[in-house]
Amino acid sequence: MRLGPTVSARPAAGSGLTTTKTPFIEEARAARLAFIHQPYELYSPDNHATWGQLLERMEGRWRQHASAPFLDGIERLRLSPARIPRLEEVNRFLEPLTGFRAHAVSGYLPSYLFFDCLRRREFPTTVTIRDGATLDYLPEPDIFHDVAGHVPMHTDVAFASTLVRLGECAATAARRAAQIADERERLRRLTSNVRALSRFFWFSIEFGLVREAGALKAYGSGLLSSPGELVHAVEAPEVQRFPFQIEWVVNQLFEIDRYQPILFVIESFDHLYGLVRELEEAIAFGRLDNVAAGEPVVRAEDLRSFLTQGPYAK
Ligand SMILES: [Fe+2]
């Protein structure tokens, strides 16, 4: 992974900036460029139409099922169905509110780099958009998931502080790992910490529910960017919903390619911030060194990012 000059934009043979079909992104990844610019001129009319369709499909569902800070955020960002937003426009509204900025990336960032961006109030943001023929199917995050699903919550001060603290949790895990002399043990404990952090992130930032005046509302971006799953998460009787408990969440397996059968509910965003403080303490005191094995898989590249790119890299 290196940070460097952005890739030059060239015409993308009619596919626009469609997820998994974009030469611009493939070239950036091949060149190991993580941070890129948003090649706005490459969006096709179909890409803009897909954005508009998604926004229009979600608006009614958001009003019914989204948490209050999310609805405030949507109001403030003024996303238009007419076209995909430019990230600089989004940042013009976002940055004065909480200091967060959306920063374009070419795709998956190794785990430590991702959390470290949050620590610096930068949100790694995908610029491609899903194929309009399969609006509900998401092979990987897209700009609708990142900008319409995540960014509205970043306008909320308590939520933004929670993201920064999650970045601090990753730094704590990196510091602990750097202090363990035995390499096997270092990797074993770090794998457990990263798995715990990923599960916490998944069941809060991506798929979290919150209780507001007695009603269940969604604040997780995975729910808020999926027309089908949002309603399912809040209304389907077969979904198991439990109060958010750290000890449970860090040991709870999840799979990414289906509607989530189990979700966790927080009481408020101050509550969530408190939970992240507890998470950080649990990492610091070695209480998350033996979480349940299983999903998600922790990639070697993720572990390496903690050991070589953390603030305590040797
Ligand atoms: Fe996400």
Contact status, residue 152 vs residue 70, Cβ threshold 8 Å: yes
Ligand 1 centroid to Cα of residue 142, in Å, is 9
Ligand 1 centroid to Cα of residue 185, in Å, is 30
Q: What confidence score (pLDDT) does residue 21 get?
A: 82
Report residues near ion ligand 1: CB below 5 Å.
221
Q: Who has greater pLDDT, 141 or 195?
A: 195
Cα-based distances in Å from 72 to 18, 93, 131, 219? 29, 12, 28, 12
From the list 268, 274, 251, the residue with the least C-alpha distance to 69 is 268
Percent of residues, the chain, with pLDDT higher than 70: 94
pLDDT tens for each residue of 232-274: 999 999 999 999 999 999 999 998 888 999 999 999 999 999 9
Phi, psi of 212 (to 5 degrees): -125, 115
Ligand 1 centroid to Cα of residue 221, in Å, is 6
Confidence of residue 198 (pLDDT cuts 50, 70, 90): very high
What is the rounded average pLDDT of the residues 127-145?
Answer: 87
Ligand 1 centroid to Cα of residue 206, in Å, is 5
Q: Using DSSP bridges, classify how beta strands 101-105 and 215-218 pair: parallel, antiparallel or unpaired.
A: unpaired
Would you please indicate which residues are annotated as catalytic (active-site) residues?
145, 150, 206, 225
Q: What residues contact 221, with CB distance under 8 A and at least 6 apart?
A: 145, 146, 149, 150, 153, 205, 206
Q: Who has greater pLDDT, 28 or 246?
A: 246
Q: Answer yes or no: is pLDDT of 6 > 90.
A: no
From the list 253, 258, 260, the residue with the least C-alpha distance to 207 is 260
H helical segments located in 66-209: 68-77, 87-98, 111-119, 143, 157-178, 183-201
To 10 degrees, the CA torsion angle through 228, 136, 75, 38? 160
Q: Which of 131-135, 155-159, 172-176, 222-226 has the lowest mean pLDDT?
A: 131-135
Tokens of 195: 């798995």
For helices 157-178 and 269-284, angle between their N-to-C axes, nearest 10 degrees: 10
List the domain boundaries for the chain. 23-309
Q: What confidence score (pLDDT) does residue 159 get?
A: 97
Q: Answer yes or no: is pLDDT of 7 > 50.
A: no
Q: Answer yes or no: is pLDDT of 157 > 70.
A: yes
Q: What confidence score (pLDDT) does residue 5 get?
A: 35
Confidence of residue 14 (pLDDT cuts 50, 70, 90): low
Q: What confidence score (pLDDT) does residue 303 get?
A: 95
pLDDT tens for each residue of 55-70: 999 999 999 999 999 9
What is the rounded average pLDDT of the residues 167-194?
Answer: 96
Ligand 1 centroid to Cα of residue 19, in Å, is 15
Q: What confidence score (pLDDT) does residue 19 get?
A: 85
Ligand 1 centroid to Cα of residue 182, in Å, is 34
Pick the CATH number of 23-309 from 1.10.274.10, 1.10.10.10, 1.10.3720.10, 1.10.800.10: 1.10.800.10
pLDDT tens for each residue of 61-111: 999 999 999 999 999 999 999 999 999 999 999 999 999 999 999 988 999
In the beta sheet, which residues pair with residue 35? 105
Ligand 1 centroid to Cα of residue 237, in Å, is 25
Confidence of residue 309 (pLDDT cuts 50, 70, 90): confident
For helices 45-65 and 227-235, angle between their N-to-C axes, nearest 10 degrees: 10
Rounded-to-integer distance, Cα 96 and Cα 164, Å: 16
Mean pLDDT, rounded, of the chain: 92
Burial class (CB in 10 A: 0-12, 13-18, 19+), 4: exposed
Rounded-to-integer distance, Cα 248 and Cα 111, Å: 22
